[in-house]
Amino acid sequence: MKTKVKIYGLDCPNCARNLQNEINKLDGVSNASIEFVKNSLTFESEQPELALTKIISLTKQLEPQAKISKIEQNHKKSFVIDLVCLLVGVGLGVFIFFCPLPSWAYWTIYVLAAILLGYKTYYKAIKLLFKGIINENLLITISVIGASIISEHMEGLMVIALYSTGKIFENMAVNKSRKSIEKLAQMQPEYANLLLRGKETKVSPEQVKKGSTILVKAGEKVPIDGVILKGTSLINNQSLTGESVPVLKQVGDEILSGGILLDGTLEIKTTNLYKDSAISKIMNLVENANENKSKTETFISKITRWYTLGVVVLACLVFAVVLAVTNNLSTAFYRGLIFLVVSCPCAFAISVPLSYFSGLGNASKNGVLIKGSNFLDACSGLKLVAFDKTGTLTTGNFEIKHIAAEKGFTSQDVLYYAALGEQNSIHPLAKAVVEANKKELKKVADFKEISGKGLEYSLNNKTYFVGRKNENLKATIIEVFENNNLIGTIELADTIKPTSIDAIKKLKEMNIKSVLLSGDNLETAKSVAKQLGINEVKASLLPEQKYDYLNNCKNNKIKVGYVGDGINDAPSLAVANVGFSMGINGVPASIEASDVVVVDDNPQKIATAIKISKYTRKIVWQNIILSAVVKLTFLTLGALGVTRMLAAVFADVGVTLLAILNSLRALHYNPNKKLKSQIKSQVKIKGKNFKK
């Protein structure tokens, strides 16, 4: 059984990683994973309560300041204690530096200052050392003790003071990122107003059954997906789709959970259980997004396990070389300590996962749910994006243009026999046919679907086929056969989404090729492609042919994305380097098979995902290169005796803070700046102004 809890108080990613490794050694615990940035711990166990008890006990030993809880906690108290200890410790250090004191008083205050400034660091270093774990806490502890031994007392205090200050700033920056993501959790509705026999009752959303009637008032969140039975209101869907302009909803419109009513009152008939509603799906995707890590993040995670041990070995080597050259024990020891301080892996360990975390959070805010940093990374390398047509680039809302009936049959007969078969289908064409039919539909026998062709059924000892046998038809046409004799055709028309043209334009601006893969006939597909500006069209394709096309692209080393929304798109979504499913309330199979879910069916969001991906990846490599260059520079200067320990500390803490601040840019990057500048700052509807 998989269990997820909250863990607070961990000071750094390495601490989290070391604790994670030790938890995985416990009996009855497997696949334990700590997400430092998300304050979360997940593990698997057949006896979760017993396993959690063991985990809490182990955590108290290795990370006594850390707390594990099943609910959110506020840890401002811990922050205040750390800040007070830091200020008092620095104050004591300044006091003994400027005031002449007896030796006993000097050493008493010095030791007290050093303890206040780094008691957590020393404690963890010793605890982990007994477990055979060497990390940056040990590096700093050795540096402080070493500086004290060679009478560099003030430098020893400054090392731990600057390190602790850096930790405080790190936590502040990470918490800022956490709070931005935690705003998504605020989308979750706390209650639903259930209407039973005209009486309103406030209940938990989980208690509302499908088909129930709920009441949503101005200022409240829509708790469950549904259809509006009564009322008209403006809905703020910014938390769902990233769009700041309110949407007008009225009787008969579908409405997703998570939106906020700006005015009026709505009666809604629920079409899903809460667990199947949009808001629940979004939260599940966001919660699990960090389980799939990018290659870069995984590599950094693996290398930091051995990094610290390697640093200690190299520091000893520096000590030996300098001692051999200078024949001065104090100088050799001092330069070895500088090497330890500069080499702390914090800049790498925190900035890379924080960058991806920020990128995933930014995508979520823009209505694009990416299932992991590996898929976020993959988006940046796409060279070709293939699109399904119906429901992806078009609305999928078909209308019947014309019905042609053969001799002996009326147009109503043709429509009726088509609807008898299509009543069991969820295809958009089927929906249009069934809705247009006015006759009562009977149950049919021997129903079966013929992949890529249509469907077949029996009625009154006759066999009917509904679909397409003639591949040369130049429009979207359904043919109806009775005992292999054509009895009529139904011509339907679809409309292109207003956002589709801009979606293709944005991909072209990024030098990404677009291809239309359609099951429709060539003439219809070409017509849509021409309107959108898509140059390559593949028409009359079966699902397996779409799969083969994408697989062939991958075999030719072309990184390809696929965008679709139906059951027949699931294989293509799975085989593509990145699969994009359209709509959080789309077909479950397509959402499951995809790597990215576009919440609001807007194809423009494909470009949004790719832009965020490219920007995030750029920041990740900026942080890696910056950290590596600065550390290598100061390691060399320290070994040569050009810089002192304080400069080394500034270099380590400074580059870590710069990398963290740079990572947060991925959270605030606006991929749609040009688009949003074109939207009016106010929307006036029903005499009301709604500002952005």
Identify the pLDDT of residue 664: 84
Q: What CATH number should be reported for the domain holding residue 240?
A: 2.70.150.10
Q: What CATH number should be reported for the domain holding residue 489?
A: 3.40.1110.10
Q: Are residues 409 and 550 in the same domain?
A: no
In the block, residue with structure tokens 């994408």:
550
Q: Are residues 449 and 564 in the same domain?
A: no
What domain range includes position 25?
2-73
DSSP run (H or E) holding 671: none
Identify the pLDDT of residue 509: 93
Residue 488 domain-assigned (yes or no): yes
Residue numbers annotated as active site = 388
Which of residues 612, 628, 658 is at a domain's end? 612
Residue 677 domain-assigned (yes or no): no
Q: Are residues 525 and 598 in the same domain?
A: yes
Residue 684 domain-assigned (yes or no): no
Phi, psi of 244 (to 5 degrees): -85, -15
Q: Are residues 373 and 508 in the same domain?
A: yes
Q: Are residues 446 and 473 in the same domain?
A: yes
Low-confidence ranges of the chain (pLDDT < 70): 11-14, 36-38, 70-78, 170, 173-188, 239-244, 283-305, 344-346, 349, 452, 474, 585-587, 674-692
**Torsion sign over Cα 671, 618, 607, 578:** negative
Q: Are residues 513 and 567 in the same domain?
A: yes
Identify the pLDDT of residue 692: 37
Residue 204 domain-assigned (yes or no): yes
664/181 Cα distance (integer angstroms) = 12
Are the C-beta atoms of residues 257 and 222 closer than 8 Å to each other?
A: yes
Which of residues 442, 463, 493 is at a domain's end? 493
Identify the pLDDT of residue 687: 40
Q: Are residues 512 and 553 in the same domain?
A: yes
Beta strands in 307-397 (DSSP E): 368-370, 384-387
In 3-state terms, the chain is what percent helix, strand and coil (to 5)? Answer: 50, 20, 30
Residue 514 domain-assigned (yes or no): yes
SS3 186: helix
Q: Are residues 479 and 506 in the same domain?
A: no
Please count the structural domains in the chain. 4
Q: Are residues 264 and 366 in the same domain?
A: no
Residue 64 domain-assigned (yes or no): yes
Q: What CATH number should be reported for the domain holding residue 69?
A: 3.30.70.100
Are the C-beta atoms of residues 62 and 131 closer than 8 Å to each other?
A: yes
Q: Are residues 383 and 480 in the same domain?
A: no
Alpha helices in 343-477 (DSSP H): 346-365, 373-379, 411-422, 428-436
Contact partners, residue 44, CB within 8 Å, separation at least 6: 1, 2, 3, 29, 30, 31, 32
**Torsion sign over Cα 474, 477, 483, 486:** negative
Phi, psi of 203 (to 5 degrees): -135, 170
Q: Are residues 194 and 257 in the same domain?
A: yes
Q: Are residues 432 and 474 in the same domain?
A: yes
Residue 59 domain-assigned (yes or no): yes
